[in-house]
Amino acid sequence: MKYHIGFSQSDLGADAPQSVILSGEPERSHYIAQTYLENAKLLSQYRGLHSYLGKLPNGKPILVATSGMGASSLSIVVNELVQVGIKQFIRVGTCGSIQPFISIGDLVISQASLCRQGAALDIAPPEYPAVADLFLTFALVETARKLNIPYHLGITASVDSFYEGQERVESSANPHLQSWLRGITAQYRQLNILNYEMEVGTLFKMAGVYGFRAACVCAVVAQRTADESIVIDDKDAAVKRAIEVAIQSIAQA
């Protein structure tokens, strides 16, 4: 049994899945398993890292796993999932748009990441590219198009902290940013970066080093050109759209 995820390769059975949908929230993992998986089985909920085994309606086996918040937690979960045989990862998350043309409720599909994360430095040097799998990313794009869901394909800024690292001052307990963080969002906007989130840069670097396929689709729940706050009222509907895109893409992969 792997220490953090709480299950072993043998727990996955003879028809073991090679694909996982990865979510930061245990509640989201539970929702995906109960809504989309047939014969969903809870493998573990150790440390709040809920993992479920089941099958899609087309009979394809799949794992739904919780990564926790941030790259450090994700790096542990992903390492152990690779050890039990997972070869394809789709992260389904939430994010904040930093471009005025990306609206609350839209999806961002990450083709690459600006990776400003400490966990990734233990895996590869800073200049090592954090890039998504081309074919898995294209599958997400095609599914979003087919479902007529508004999406944006581009570069994500993946950072370690929710407040200081994403230049939040009005909603933070600490309004005194380090000088190098002041204006960072505008700088990223000028670099055509689409959004902030907290995990995918490390996931993409791990994919390159470990040799698995990875992609990411995030629901936009904050519009950072207008406000720092998350729009809770629109979150559930946006996340459900991201989940639908991920599920259908894995079913066809």
Where residue 52 sits, what CATH number does that domain have?
Answer: 3.40.50.1580
* Residue 4 placed within a domain: no
> Into how many domains does the chain fold?
1
pLDDT digits (tens, 9 = 90+) for 97-138: 999 999 999 999 999 999 999 999 999 999 999 999 999 999
Instruction: Using alpha carbons, select from 44, 34, 38, 37 the residue that is nearest to residue 11.
Output: 44
Q: Domain range for residue 31?
A: 9-252
252: pLDDT confidence band, cut at 50, 70 and 90? confident
Spatial distance between the Cα atoms of 21 and 3, rounded to a whole number of angstroms: 20
Beta bridge partner(s), residue 109:
153, 217
Residue 126 covered by a domain: yes
Q: Is residue 2 part of a domain?
A: no
Tell me the β-bridge partners of 153. 109
Q: What is the pLDDT of residue 140?
A: 98
Question: Would residue 3 count as lying in a domain?
Answer: no
For 49-105, what is each residue's pLDDT tens digit? 999 999 999 999 999 999 999 999 999 999 999 999 999 999 999 999 999 999 999
pLDDT in tens, 153-193: 999 999 999 999 999 999 999 999 999 999 999 999 999 99
Full-model pTM = 0.96
Q: List residues with catalytic annotation.
A: 4, 80, 168, 224
Buried b (16+ CB within 10 A) or exposed e, 88-115: bbbbbbbbbbbbeebebbbbbbbbbbbb
